[in-house]
Structure 1
């Protein structure tokens, strides 16, 4: 984990993917008082989210819909993807988020199988990348996994955000062996 930085604060959250898990997470964030922008390429998923949000009564935060990742992350302090937990999908979304989100944005991915060290090595902001394993539902608990480049400020911001959602968080270094690391041993012939 890297050294000191200004303490980032999470107020605006981009949620990429409005399937069941992404939609539920976006609604929990809005109910907890965050400004949420939910993105999905399927308008039907966004309509479901709008209907469920209307049924919340008077949530403390607000929920907006976006049809592009660029629109979703424009003002985000934190971007969370809900794409399939497979390497190609995660690499593609991390690349998009990295290019389109402001430099301040923390990239977070729920992943039970992939190395955050690998994903972070493919972006320009490895110090602002984390993965979560466990339940992101209020009352749930997660492990917040971080790559070696992660900063203390990033981890504090993510812990504070999860705490505001009612999710218990325990931070620990990425335990997974990176699979994308280049072979550093060169054959000399």
Structure 2
């Protein structure tokens, strides 16, 4: 059985607005390595739509991009992508699939069928999956910024505090810190 790893950019004050992080070669290389290690991506509809509106064009060479960003886009194009949505059923981006049915069962089946693990990159979906005790690992890139606005990580709240164990902390030269936590036993 594969693990479900929640990974996201966030600021020191917990803002997860994708425009608030540092988007440089080092950041993209970090997320490319995470994606390389995972067997599939998992998103909610909003994240999927944000991603499908930009990255396929980068992968096709229609958008001028540095090598690290083009590498991310090309690898993302080839990666299986699963989307949870109650309002949309058609996901035409290459290798995209709707995850349907009971959320707990569907995500558990995806984990079971993906030995290399699933990389989750949607904040709202992460809250729902954390409430179902389905997230195994947390890999955050904490940026040296204070946004002063939301959305924030776990803004919708959890039923109880989630205890984690630190696996690693890696400083990046751009000032961000890559932190890896695992659910405490």
TM-score bracket relative to the smaller structure: 0.3 to 0.5
TM-score, normalising length: structure 2: 0.35
**Greater RCO structure (CA 8 Å; 6+ sep):** 2
